Amino acid sequence: MLGSARETVAFVPVQPTHLHVLVVDDDPAECQLIRSLLAPYGMLVQEVFSVDEALVQLSEHAVDLVITDLLMPEVDGFELCRRIKNHSEWRYIPILVVSALDDYGNMALSV
């Protein structure tokens, strides 16, 4: 019974993980914010500031998750998502999009 005197609630601490997370954003402050949120959980965060840098990291290192902004100069996050999903070795890497865009139609283009 919920709320009974016999009910015991156990809080299980989050176990550290060693996921390799690639953060792609042209704003270093945003990258640092994401790092500060993930690092306490043992995630290994690599920050890059352009799509070109991200593609180099993806080709040289195993990545478990990509977190990207969509609006970046030169090559944008939409193109990064397309390149990852069209690459035979990267297509199953999950992508988390973090953006100030409020147009869900445009964000859906990144999927």
**69 close to 25: Cβ distance less than 8 angstroms:** yes
User: Would the CA dihedral through 108, 88, 77, 75 be positive or negative?
Assistant: negative
What's the confidence (pLDDT) of residue 31? 96
Closest to 71 (Cα-Cα) out of 44, 42, 100: 100
Backbone angles phi, psi at 48, to 5 degrees: -135, 155
The whole-model pTM stands at 0.78
- pLDDT by residue (tens digit) across 19-77? 999 999 999 999 999 999 999 989 999 999 999 999 999 999 999 999 999 988 898 88
To 5 degrees, how large is the angle CA 22–CA 91–CA 50? 35
CB-based contact 54:66 (threshold 8 Å) = yes
pLDDT confidence of residue 93 = 97
Please, which pLDDT band fits residue 105 given cuts at 50, 70 and 90?
low
